[in-house]
Amino acid sequence: RLMRAAPALWAHLGWRGLALAGPGAGWIVVGLGLVLTDRPAVNRATGPLIDLMCIEAWGGVWIACGVLGLAAGVMRPGRDMWGFAAVSLPPTVWALSYLAAAASGRYSPGWATVPVYSVILLLLVIIAALTGGHRRICTCERGGHGGH
């Protein structure tokens, strides 16, 4: 059944929808991890953010942005730049926090994680630019499998 559903899902999502829904689903999991698990290194690396609000609240931000990205990816094609903004926000904030924690000595290994979040952002920008910023073409209503 899953294999039969895959072409229809691809016809609806395409690259742009997948670039929104994939990170969206991932950010929900990251957020749940922040809410449900104790991660001392993350607490140190995100110290500048924890000064603003607790790690569980930041987990809620990851979850909310993930839900928005997932929703933007699976909704009918249309203007979806808000979805890219949503999935870009958490890694941007996290990269800045890790950088600030490394620069201040609060978490000196933080510099090594900044490229990970930066690459995620770079790929999101590239996909948003390459797939156009106005409309995703959904072939699912016409029975096609283009996924453009």
User: How high does pLDDT run on average in the chain?
Assistant: 86
Q: Residue 145 has what pLDDT?
A: 52
Which amino acid would we find at residue 141?
E
Q: Using CA atoms, how far apart are residues 46 and 131, in angstroms rounded to an integer? A: 33
Least confident stretch, 9-13, 15-19, 52-56, 113-117: 9-13
Section 45-61 average pLDDT: 93
| Banded pLDDT at 74 (limits 50, 70, 90) | confident
pLDDT tens digits along 5-44: 777 777 777 888 889 999 999 999 999 999 999 888 888 8
One-character DSSP codes across 67-82: HHHHHHHHSPSS--HH
Express as a percent the part of the chain with pLDDT over 90: 58
- The four Cα atoms 25, 33, 91, 148 give a dihedral, to 10 degrees, of -10
Alpha carbon of 93 to those of 28, 59, 86, 146: distances in Å? 16, 12, 12, 35
Query: For the chain, what percent of residues have pLDDT higher than 70?
Result: 85
